[in-house]
């Protein structure tokens, strides 16, 4: 397997981090005996659409080489999808537009593998999570982001 970028996201480090979140935030607090304020229901996938800046508004960013970078802990709400931030995890992949700025699925093989591994890990930790593309939310219906049919891709992998 060597030093290929996919070894980074296949490590148990990501899996442990996700399970720690589920353990800490999926149970009632001992002090207050109430559920936490943040319950994760959705996994929303975005594209950067030519923007090179890696913002800390997404939980995860996937570079063209397939490197996954976590910007926010899963316990924090991102700022990637207004109205869904508190109940979702955001993933953004680098790309999503052609040289002229038109929407296009520009994912590399490494990005597809990394995204598949990340989504699979998050599905194991949150079995009832619903995977959506940014454009599949009613509020953002005219948006092309993430430039591929998310539900079709992950429904075929179930």
- Residue range 103-122, pLDDT digits in tens: 778 889 999 999 999 999 99
Q: State which residues of the chain have pLDDT below 70.
A: 1-38, 50-56, 138-142, 155-158
- Residue span of the structural domain in which 84 resides: 6-155
Mean pLDDT of all residues belonging to the chain: 72
Any residues with CB less than 8 A from the CB of 39 and at least 6 apart, and which?
A: 87
Crossing angle of helices 109-125 and 12-25, rounded to 10°:
30
For residues 128 and 140, what is the distance between their CA atoms, to the nearest angstrom? 23
The answer to whether residue 21 is domain-embedded is yes
* Residue 88 forms part of a structural domain: yes
Three-state secondary-structure class, residue 148: coil
Instruction: List Cα–Cα distances, 61 to 25, 28, 121, 128, in angstroms.
Output: 23, 30, 15, 22
State residue 53's pLDDT score: 60
Q: Is 72 within a domain?
A: yes
Residue 1 covered by a domain: no
CATH (domain of 144): 3.40.80.10
The pair phi, psi for residue 157, each rounded to 5°, is -95, -5
**What is the model's pLDDT at position 55?**
63
- At residue 114, the pLDDT reads 92
pLDDT given at position 105: 82
CA distance 21 to 42: 15
Q: What is the pLDDT, as a whole number, of residue 27? A: 40
Token reading at 148? 């591929």
- pLDDT attached to residue 158: 56
pTM beyond 0.85: the answer is no
Number of domains within the chain: 1
């Amino acid at each position: 397997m060597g030093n290929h970028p996919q070894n980074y996201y296949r490590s148990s480090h990501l899996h442990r981090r996700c399970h720690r979140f589920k353990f800490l935030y999926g149970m009632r607090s001992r002090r207050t005996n109430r559920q936490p304020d943040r319950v994760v229901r959705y996994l929303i996938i975005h594209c950067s659409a030519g923007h090179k800046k890696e913002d800390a508004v997404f939980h995860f960013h996937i570079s063209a080489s397939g490197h996954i970078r976590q910007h926010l802990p899963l316990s924090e709400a991102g700022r990637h999808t207004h109205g869904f931030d508190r109940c979702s995890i955001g993933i953004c992949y680098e790309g999503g537009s052609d040289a002229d700025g038109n929407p296009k699925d520009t994912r590399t093989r490494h990005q597809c593998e990394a995204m598949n591994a990340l989504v699979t890990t998050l599905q194991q930790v949150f079995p009832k999570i619903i995977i959506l593309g940014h454009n599949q939310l009613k509020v953002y219906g005219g948006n092309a982001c993430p430039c591929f049919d998310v539900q079709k891709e992950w429904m075929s992998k179930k």
